[in-house]
Amino acid sequence: MLNCKQSSELLSQALDRPITFRERLAIRLHLLICDGCRNFDKQLTFIRKAARELPRKF
Amino acid sequence: MSTTGTIDPDALQLHRSYLVRYAILQLRDPHLAEDVVQETLVAAIENRSKFSAQSSLRTWLVGILKHKILDLMRRQAREPQLDVADGEDENDLIDSLFEKDGHWFAPPQAWADPEKSMENTHFWETFEQCNQRMPVNTARAFMMREFMEMSTEEICQELSISTTNCWVLLHRARLALRECLDLHWFGSTR
């Protein structure tokens, strides 16, 4: 079982490399039981979107 | 305004402040940013025949600027660095956010309508400040990834670090930004 620290690590890496089937499964299992990491996951997506939008906001 | 090969120098000046802000975010040094933008504008004028009116002038300028920034960072990497100590112990921030058993110290709370924040000028100011607040190498890797949209492989090469290190830097950057935004933006509406 992943803990939150490992899960946050994988969620971040998923934005930088293709993650394996096993990793994806482990994340999904963890997200089922963890509100904090579910929020973190959504926030990562938002942060990426915002960072890529930033140059257009100057 | 811009048919092939003719760029009005005044038009270039219009984009100057944009380019400077772009460069500051990546280099975090206003003087270096000014220099690199100056170089970019000179290069743009010298190579104006390569500019095609089909693309936007700003996009073209940013393309040149990216190259100039990378050149500068490569030159810096070759020079001996005096300020190596950057307060960037790999696991400092990451460790501080989690309990010993790997649980969140303070589990992330939901953010109210983040999409709506994107319409708010103050949000972008906060976002920019949070970016500036990250340790230099962390910010640099993050900006290369999200701002210049480089691949992890390219970033590792530029920073001469391992892939694993690169992932750690990016993970730390995202955690730091999340904390900062939570503290200075989303948390205050809770």
Of B73, B64, B70, residue with least CA distance to B39: B64
Give the domain ranges of chain A.
4-57
**β strands within B13-165, DSSP E:** none
Of A6, A12, A40, the CB nearest to B108: A40
Give the domain ranges of chain B.
9-78, 92-189
- Residues B38-90: tens digit of each pLDDT: 999 989 988 888 888 777 888 899 999 999 998 888 887 776 544 334 455 55
* Mutation for testing the B interface, residue in A11, A13, A23 having most B CBs under 10 Å: A13
- Residues A16-37: tens digit of each pLDDT: 999 999 999 999 999 999 999 9
* Mutation for testing the A interface, residue in B171, B172, B177 having most A CBs under 10 Å: B171
- Residues B103-160: tens digit of each pLDDT: 998 999 999 999 999 999 999 999 988 988 888 889 889 999 998 889 999 999 888 8
B5: pLDDT strictly greater than 70: no
Query: How large is the average pLDDT for residues B151-178?
Result: 92
B177: pLDDT strictly greater than 50: yes
Of B95, B98, B10, B92, residue with least CA distance to B57: B10
B190: pLDDT strictly greater than 80: no
Whole-number Å distance between alpha carbons of A48 and B46: 35
Partner-chain contact B101 A3, CB within 8 Å: yes
Amino acid at B172: R
Partner-chain contact B146 A52, CB within 8 Å: yes
At A55, the pLDDT band (50, 70, 90 cuts) reads confident
Query: Class for domain B92-189, per CATH?
Result: mainly alpha
Give the pLDDT of residue B137: 85
User: Is the Cβ of B174 closer than 8 Å to some Cβ of chain A?
Assistant: yes
Give the pLDDT of residue B145: 95
Whole-number Å distance between alpha carbons of B140 and B84: 15
- List of chain A residues whose C-beta atoms are within 8 Å of the C-beta of residue B115: 46
User: Is the Cβ of B112 closer than 8 Å to some Cβ of chain A?
Assistant: no
Asked if B109 and B118 touch (Cβ cutoff 8 Å), the reply is no
Give the pLDDT of residue B3: 46
* B104 DSSP β-pair partners: B98
Give the pLDDT of residue B7: 73
Partner-chain contact B146 A16, CB within 8 Å: no
Asked if B48 and B60 touch (Cβ cutoff 8 Å), the reply is no
Partner-chain contact B111 A50, CB within 8 Å: no
Query: How large is the average pLDDT for residues B3-22?
Result: 78
- Residues B32-46: tens digit of each pLDDT: 899 999 999 989 988
Burial of A44 (0-12, 13-18, 19+ CB in 10 A): buried
Partner-chain contact A52 B147, CB within 8 Å: yes
Partner-chain contact B114 A44, CB within 8 Å: no
Tell the residue number behind the tokens 């900006």, with chain if given.
B143
Whole-number Å distance between alpha carbons of A30 and A37: 8
CATH number given to B9-78: 1.10.1740.10
To the nearest whole number, what is the mean pLDDT of chain B?
A: 84
Amino acid at B188: S
Q: Give contacts of B 39-78 with A, CB under 8 A.
A: 62
